[in-house]
Chain A
Amino acid sequence: MAKYTLKRLGMAIITLLLVACITFLLMNTIPGSPWLTEKTPSQATIDALNEKYGLNEPEIVQLGKYFKNLFKGDMGVSLKMQKNRPVVDIILEMFPVSAKIGAIALLWAVLVGVPLGCIAAYNRGKWVDSLLRIVGTIGISMPSFVVASLLLTGLGGSDDSIFPTIFKASLGAKAYILPCFALGLYPMCYISRQARSSMLDALGQDYIKTARAKGLKNSAVIFKHALRNALIPVITYLGPQIAFTLCGGFVVETVFSVPGLGRYFIQSIQNRDYPLIMGTTVFLAAFIIFMNFFVDILYVVVDPRIKLEKGGE
């Protein structure tokens, strides 16, 4: 286990460096600069600013310096959106907001998606199955901005109504309902479809026949014997999805004006806020890598046949 973790850690660092390099390269090929606003400042000002933030140096030197600071836990300061504020600070402030909405969204997606999938599989071919399939297909084919906009125009109201249009943490639980629903709908539908097909697969296995032949109750057959086997593909999907959702649904956060990390992904690019682009990307990448590792460990817990290293423990 320790050897495996070390190996994964090494690979994670290399992956992160690669992600950072590619992002840096792409970022610098986009035309424009952080200093361009409606009132374009004078060339002298731009030069001075470039000088101050080290943007006048060759790109390779900039990248080297960035890495050097990154290993010290310094991601630089925001150039524009929250001028001179450390990127680390911004991420630490925005991430919890996104994470809270994301966690609630995923929680309901799993808690509703998995049972729905099981119900559909158990009633295969009956009307319940057909109904769930239609709902699932709609949920999967509708882009989140459509879902979010529909919810907003259909249900959204003032701060006093049950579904406030604009997210404000001060409004308490009700502020979370619409964004969490919109964010969780797609994963919910996806999970329920995944759960249905893997549940069907599990229910057709010989060990289910054995379990029934043993005289186990139907509930024990389904929840103890089939479900655990059926969850493995769901977990595979869930790992990266957790990372994406927790770091903020770009679209949903924008539609509901949630001050989360997701919005910063897009706005930092629009504003050419270089350190912020790097910071959010590297953070998301690191998070995804970590979640994949976490999922690998979860496999071992769920499926004893999987051993993380040769020979196992």
Chain B
Amino acid sequence: MKNGRKKASTSAASKTALGKKEGKLLEVNDLKVSFFTPAGEVKAVGGISYDLNYGEVMGIVGESGSGKSVEAYSIMGLLQSPGKVVGGSIIFEGEDVLAKSKEEMTSFRGNKVSMIFQNPMTSLNPVYTVGNQLVEALRAHNKDISAAEAKKRAAEMLDMVGINNVEKRMKQYPHEFSGGMRQRVMIAMGLICNPKLLIADEPTTALDVTIQAQIIELMKELQQKTQMGIIFITHNLGVVAEICDKVSVMYAGRIVEKGSVNDIFYKPSHPYTVGLLRSMPRVDAQEYERLIPIEGTPVDMLNPPDGCPFAPRCESCMQICLKKMPPYVEMGDGHSSACWLRVQEKMKDKEAKNNG
């Protein structure tokens, strides 16, 4: 089974003339993650599936507690007890990540997949120089490289992420860097081993707006240069529009809608996505407008409802929404949505077709 998968993916991932790989980099199938707390099992991620192609940038959008980060940590194998993957599979370049041993995961992390975090102020170790931490990341996976070479490569990376005066900066400690600079260092550290996939867990949330724009610009530029895949976790739709090719919208541990950036922004088909878009301030507003929030609070993940988790907050909630989980409905080219409204529409279309 595993071998079969491997073969299929490697042939799909054959190189094109441009030297750019095509095919699936990452496949997540029905991934389920639970936290076993004294109060009971919290189903943080309740069965999500998506694909990511080589060189593709996917945004995962959702509110706090929707399982965005937990899902990312499962790919990295960084889930901390009491969190556990309880079902599904994560296939990276044809290899099952969940089947890897601890040692294999250690050489996988930071090498094939890197991750950068939300808070650059605390993500670097305060007692080691920036150069030391960069070199360490490289030498963790590249054991033959000499100290001098590693240093040179670290300096190149810092230069690449737009840090000036690299020689001096290498010898400085994280507290001598500003927040934006530290996030640049984190990006340099994440990319130093040329990973195929970068997971960015709200990398701009803790930064001020002007710096946010710079970091997004930088990541876009680096993505074009290195052709890596990026999973961009955020709750900022503006950021998504800026950098992503496609978007998955998560709510209560499920992907409620996924599609290309255009589909999500112009043809949102899940009431939650609609609500998210409506709660964003508009630049083209004619006069002062109040933002429209999504009323209510997210469901209790300890006792998730039988039906659609968004139903209690949904304006167009129907009887069935409270009883049964909606299936995914294909809305066209990679755009799908889990909402009974869409199911209803599909059925009507079918009927109309049959009658006409």
Q: Which residues of A contact B (CB under 8 A)?
A: 205-207, 209-218, 220, 224-225, 228-229, 302-305
Contacts and interface: CB of A to CB of B under 8 A. Distances in A.
Nearest to A213: B115
12 contacts: A205-B122, A206-B122, A213-B76, A213-B117, A214-B109, A214-B110, A214-B136, A214-B137, A216-B110, A218-B106, A304-B127, A304-B129
Interface of B: 76, 78, 106-111, 114-115, 117, 119, 122-129, 136-137, 140-141, 173, 175, 186, 189
Contacts of A206: 117, 119, 122-123
Q: In the A-B complex, list the 3 residue pairs whose CB atoms are closest, starting with the nearest.
A: A215-B110, A215-B109, A206-B122
A207 B78 contact: no
A215 B137 CA distance: 7
A228 B127 contact: yes
Contact of B106 (A205, A209, A215, A302): A215
Contact of B126 (A215, A224, A305): A305
The A contact surface, by secondary structure, is: helix
Contacts of B107: 215
A305 B175 contact: yes
A229 B127 contact: yes
A218 B129 CA distance: 20
A302 B127 contact: yes
B280 to A, nearest CB: 29
B184 to A, nearest CB: 14
A305 to B, nearest CB: 5
Nearest to B112: A215
Given A209-B78, A210-B117, A305-B173, A215 B141 contact: yes
B189 A214 contact: yes
A210 B203 CA distance: 13
A235 to B, nearest CB: 13
A225 B115 CA distance: 18
Contact of A213 (B78, B128, B136): B78
A122 to B, nearest CB: 12
Contacts of A209: 78, 117, 123
Contact of A229 (B106, B125, B137): B125
Contacts of B111: 215
Given A213-B78, A305-B175, A207 B140 contact: no
A228 to B, nearest CB: 5
A212 B122 CA distance: 14
A272 B186 CA distance: 66
Contacts of B137: 214-215
A213 B114 contact: yes
B97 to A, nearest CB: 13
Nearest to A212: B78
Contacts of B78: 209, 212-213
Nearest to A225: B125
A291 B44 CA distance: 51
B123 A210 contact: yes
B351 to A, nearest CB: 51
A220 to B, nearest CB: 8
Contact of B136 (A216, A303, A304, A305): A216
A272 B189 CA distance: 67
Contacts of B136: 214, 216, 220, 224
**Residue among A206, A207, A210, A224 having the largest count of chain B Cβ atoms under 10 Å:** A210
B188 to A, nearest CB: 12
B259 to A, nearest CB: 29
A210 B140 contact: no
A206 B114 CA distance: 15
A210 B119 contact: no
Contacts of B76: 213
Nearest to B105: A215
A228 B133 CA distance: 14
Contacts of A213: 76, 78, 109-110, 114-115, 117
